[in-house]
Amino acid sequence: MEYIMRKRFMQLAAALLTLCLSVPPAGAVTTNQNGEIMIRVGLASTSSHVPTGELESANLENNNSQGFGWGYRFGYYDGNLNFVELARTDRNTISVSVLKTQNLRYDGSRYSSEGGGVLVGCYHVQIPGSYNGYEEAAAAAADYSGGFVAWIDGAYQVRVGAYPSKEEAETAGIGGTVVGTSSYGMSVVKTGTNQILFQYDCGQSGRLAIQPDVTGAGETRTWFDGYKYRGGFQYHRKTGGNLTVVNVVGLEDYVNGVICYEMGRDWPLEALKAQAMCARTYVLKNLNKHNSYGFDICTSANCQVYHGMGSNKADYGPSETSMRAVAETAGLVIKYNGRLAETPYSSSFGGASEDANYVWGTNTTTEHPYLRGVEDPYEADLNDRNSHCPWTVNYTAAQLTQQLQKAGMGTGTSVKSLELTYSRLGNVIKAVVHWKNGQSNTINAGNIRSRFGVDSIRFTVNGAGTTGTQPPEQTGDISIDGFGTTDSMEGKYVITGNGSLSQIGGSAYIISGTGSVSQLEGSGSGGNTSAPQPGSGTVTVSGDTYTFNGGGWGHQIGLSQFGANAMARRGFTYDEIVTFYLPGVQITTY
């Protein structure tokens, strides 16, 4: 009998844990009952990569004025991120707030422990009884002024009132037991009031979920912290303190909430498709990146910028073009040798990307050869629209010394000279600072931008850096198979290895034995190449002033967003754009 009772207790404990726990398995793609891959995005957290910190209270508001949802459902997400409903409001409840279960006051915009106004207390009177479902509990709660339904450790309860102290609850004259919650409890109230709509407490493992809409609207867009989001919301008190807030959203809705912020919302369709491919692949590759905080991915550039469906600005958020780009690439990802590829991207390169081995220490010999870097003949087409191509940063010797000393270098001395090492692609992959006291510091490529306060690793200093090995100058004559020359590609044809014949278009390029790419003279616009194009090798510069002239903005790895824009304008398709910047990858279904 003792064994049977113990077994039944363990079964009951497991069932209650299932009803409260909603943490997906680590490292796995989470697919709900509709076959949709679900993503957890951190909107408020103690993570330094989430701009909004944990909150004492968090407000939601339906965007029903535009037809995107009425009312709310409360519950939790199961292990596959299916929403499990426990309670709901009527359709006329437009704004709700989730509060940690402490005494909080509403100051006209939010609930806080320091505010004035309406008080929501953390003591309640629990009415005796058990309930078979929400409807039964809600009917019992309706018999009391201030009554509400609570879900506590996997069971419905009826509670009354929101008192600031145990004494006030005891003297309220309601028959029942005075109770509170654990330090992980949360109350949902009608915003601006002390009317509790629902209370949830399943201990440290508990995750309250709110799914907007009770009417079956086809799409919801819900306001949180100045932005509108599709999907639902999840809340927990990670350490028993303030609230972590998570947007639980489908994969394609997530991608819609990324590409219009990472790239211009009205940029060419094929460029936005390439961006969608990179964003989709990135999030699937980085699921559970921030799992210790309770979500997969953050909202900042540490992951990918994400603001859902935008704000109240008409020109901010997804556009018809960006949403079309997501729809027309839905389910497609970038792979290398059958595995999800790394898909970094940045604004622009100034002429060439770089081997990730130099910048991040990535193995580009065997594991990630598609991140070796390529010369970019396209990006310069848009230099007149790109404020970072070219750029200039000026320092006096004293100012440069001060800039470098902020990173703990060169204490008590000053800069004597800089020794810059350039890769074959013309990017600075190492900088050695020589100090007047005879010491030196070496700065690797991954830290060069922050140490020197510049936009990219593609630059010259005081004009030096252009005397290294350069691609051969192009003349008006183009050699053809070593047997003659021509001064134009007009009317010329190329025969492929399988014997097919096609006319050379307006943008023909040559590939050298080292893999560098350069445009044939006369075979395209060529664009504005005002950003510096350094050679390879090492140069040393010194003087009373240091002028950094460069091009590009970002880490110099993977896809150039301005380059993708330029390629799309020239007529390249998204797959051609992706495979140019990430040579050797395959585009396939996930």
Work out the average pLDDT over 93-120.
94
pLDDT (0 to 100) of residue 485: 41
**Tally of structural domains, the chain:** 4
Work out the average pLDDT over 353-373.
96
Alpha carbons 268 and 281: distance in angstroms, whole number:
20
In a domain, 312, yes or no: yes
What are the backbone dihedrals phi and psi of residue 20, each rounded to the nearest 5 degrees, phi first?
A: -105, -35
Q: Is the pLDDT of residue 457 over 90?
A: yes
Residue closest to 540 by CA, chosen among 446, 469, 462, 470: 462
| Residue 387's pLDDT band (cuts 50, 70, 90) | very high
Query: How many residues comprise the chain?
Result: 590
Whether residues 323 and 362 fall in one domain: yes
| Torsion over CA: 353, 304, 334, 315 (sign) | negative
Residue closest to 115 by CA, chosen among 156, 163, 56, 174: 56
Whether residues 258 and 241 fall in one domain: no
pLDDT digit string (tens) for 160-219? Answer: 999 999 999 999 989 899 999 999 999 999 999 999 999 999 999 999 999 999 999 989
Mean pLDDT for the chain overall: 87
In a domain, 13, yes or no: no
Question: Who wins on pLDDT, 518 or 148?
Answer: 148
pLDDT (0 to 100) of residue 99: 98
Among the candidates 212, 246, 280, a domain finishes at 246
pLDDT (0 to 100) of residue 511: 46
DSSP 480: -
Among the candidates 246, 277, 292, a domain finishes at 246
Q: How many CB atoms lie within 10 A of CB 270?
A: 23
Residues 404-410: contacts with CB under 8 Å, at least 24 apart: 404/433, 404/441, 404/451, 404/452, 407/447, 407/450, 407/451, 409/433, 409/441, 409/451, 410/435, 410/439, 410/441
Q: Hey, is 6 helix, strand or coil? A: helix
Whether residues 224 and 137 fall in one domain: yes
Stretch among 29-38, 233-242, 440-449, 501-510 having the lowest mean pLDDT: 501-510
In a domain, 525, yes or no: no
Residue with tokens 């005796």: 128
Q: Is the pLDDT of residue 479 over 50?
A: no
pLDDT (0 to 100) of residue 503: 41
pLDDT (0 to 100) of residue 13: 43
Q: Is the pLDDT of residue 27 over 90?
A: no
Q: Is the pLDDT of residue 11 over 50?
A: no
Residue 29 CA neighbour count, 13 Å, CB half: 14
Whether residues 125 and 229 fall in one domain: yes
Whether residues 279 and 330 fall in one domain: yes
Whether residues 223 and 176 fall in one domain: yes
Question: Who wins on pLDDT, 346 or 10?
Answer: 346
| Residue 497's pLDDT band (cuts 50, 70, 90) | very low
pLDDT digit string (tens) for 279-307? Answer: 999 999 999 999 999 999 999 999 999 99
Alpha carbons 64 and 61: distance in angstroms, whole number:
9
Indicate left, alpha or beta for 351 from its phi (over 0: left) and psi (-120 to 50: alpha). left
- For the chain, percent of residues with pLDDT exceeding 90: 79
pLDDT (0 to 100) of residue 20: 62
248, exposed or middle or buried, with CB in 10 Å at 0-12, 13-18, 19+?
A: buried
pLDDT digit string (tens) for 55-68? Answer: 999 999 999 988 99
Q: What are the tokens at 411?
A: 């204490």
| Residue 85's pLDDT band (cuts 50, 70, 90) | very high
In a domain, 41, yes or no: no
| Residue 480's pLDDT band (cuts 50, 70, 90) | very low
pLDDT digit string (tens) for 256-283? Answer: 999 999 999 999 999 999 999 999 999 9
Whether residues 220 and 262 fall in one domain: no
Work out the average pLDDT over 502-515.
45
What are the backbone dihedrals phi and psi of residue 463, each rounded to the nearest 5 degrees, phi first?
A: 80, -10
pLDDT (0 to 100) of residue 481: 40
In a domain, 216, yes or no: yes
pLDDT (0 to 100) of residue 531: 73
Find the domain containing 357 and state its range: 253-374+561-589
| Torsion over CA: 255, 256, 261, 266 (sign) | positive
Do 178 and 125 contact (CB within 8 A), yes or no? yes
pLDDT (0 to 100) of residue 4: 39
pLDDT (0 to 100) of residue 397: 97
Work out the average pLDDT over 136-141.
97
Torsion, CA 8, CA 149, CA 76, CA 63, rounded to 10: 170
Whether residues 217 and 79 fall in one domain: yes
Work out the average pLDDT over 449-470.
84
pLDDT (0 to 100) of residue 468: 43
Whether residues 303 and 154 fall in one domain: no
Whether residues 82 and 225 fall in one domain: yes
Q: Is the pLDDT of residue 251 over 70?
A: yes
Q: How far is CA 240 from CA 112, 235, 316, in A?
A: 16, 12, 36
pLDDT (0 to 100) of residue 467: 52
Alpha carbons 50 and 17: distance in angstroms, whole number:
29
In a domain, 395, yes or no: yes
Work out the average pLDDT over 94-105.
97
Q: What is the DSSP string of 88-121?
A: E--TT--EEEEEESS-EEE-SS-EESS--SEEE-
Whether residues 216 and 71 fall in one domain: yes
In a domain, 185, yes or no: yes
Whether residues 179 and 309 fall in one domain: no
Q: Hey, is 78 helix, strand or coil? A: coil
Q: Is the pLDDT of residue 1 over 70?
A: no
In a domain, 129, yes or no: yes
pLDDT digit string (tens) for 512-570? Answer: 444 444 444 433 444 445 677 888 899 999 999 999 999 999 999 999 999 999 999 99
